[in-house]
Amino acid sequence: MTRLGVRKTYKLYVGGAFVRSESGRYERHGHHNVPRGSRKDVRDAVKAARGAAGPWAARTAYNRGQILYRTAEALESRGGELGVERRELDASIDVLVHYAGWTDKLQAVLGGINPVAAPFLSFSLPEPTGVVGLVAPDEPELLGLIAELAPALAAGNTVVAAVSEAQPLAALDLAEVLGVSDVPGGVVNLLSGRRMELALALAAHHDLNAVVDASGNAELAPEIDKLAAESVTRVRHAEASLDYESATADPLSALEAVTELKTAWHPVGA
């Protein structure tokens, strides 16, 4: 008797768990049904990210670097299951390793002592922005997501990402890699579905601290700006990482977009 294989059922990745869309809606991608996330799924994901934000930011920079490096290791070993070309997979792994090395260098590069013409000592320290909403490009579906996900995590933020609408399978498979790579639940949340629906729900959410729009959609960008302005949420419109070699060409811009600087003043002298 011929055995029937178990067909994979794709799910959203929210709070470290694989969940079905609240709406029950699915869309067909090849031979697979892919959940179509709703506004309620966005709210659930932001809630999970907010709950994880404090503990993640409180970890040492060295520990966050270890976890990002472990994610690169897991992606290296299981990357063949993601169905992307080897060049894109290698570039994605390299991006994770690159930003793993940035975690304990942020303070030295972005912070420092500020010269002031007064009897005070002024210094600035980088801090995570908080919860970051990420709108990933359609392609490259894996590298385009990781190129913006990695700097946000390296800076100590949690992320809610709307993955590629046209090619969501690799990003949803990435959730299984994250599940075995020591990334705490809620730090990364992955939603599939209609980009416009998810992106606008993210931009309008008042518990989001920043939005990174890498979709390259000229119609979507002004809508994100308008909704984010209502809650003074910072927005960065990033270019999709189509050029594999340039995915880490300007790391400071990516890191500064999801980092706040806290400046303190202390009196010195008499």
Q: Where are the alpha helices (DSSP H) in 34-168?
A: 39-58, 61-78, 86-100, 106-110, 143-154
Residue 49 burial (CB count, 10 A): 28
Share of the chain above pLDDT 90, in %: 78
pLDDT at 200 over 80: yes
The mean pLDDT value of the chain amounts to: 93
Q: Rounded distance, CA 161 to CA 90, Å?
A: 21
pLDDT at 55: 98
Residue 270 pLDDT greater than 60, yes or no: no
Per-residue pLDDT reduced to its tens digit, 30-85: 889 999 999 999 999 999 999 999 999 999 999 999 999 999 999 999 988 899 99
Q: Where are the domains of the chain?
A: 15-267
Residue 3 has pLDDT above 60, yes or no: yes
* Stated pTM of the model: 0.94
State yes or no: pLDDT of 25 exceeds 60: yes
pLDDT band at 93 (very low <50, low <70, confident <90, very high): very high
- Give the strands of the sheet with 259-267, arranged side by side: 112-114, 120-128, 259-267
Which token pair is 226? Answer: 């308008």
User: Quick check: 157 pLDDT over 90?
Assistant: yes
Crossing angle of helices 86-100 and 61-78, rounded to 10°: 170
> With pLDDT > 70 as the criterion, what percentage of the chain qualifies?
97
For residues 246-265, average pLDDT: 89
Fold of 15-267: Aldehyde Dehydrogenase; Chain A, domain 1 (3.40.605)
pLDDT band at 107 (very low <50, low <70, confident <90, very high): confident
Q: Quick check: helix, strand or coil at residue 77?
A: helix
* pLDDT at res. 217: 92
Beta strands in the chain (DSSP E): 12-14, 17-19, 26-29, 32-35, 112-114, 120-128, 131-135, 158-162, 188-191, 210-213, 234-237, 259-267
Q: What is the pLDDT of residue 105?
A: 94
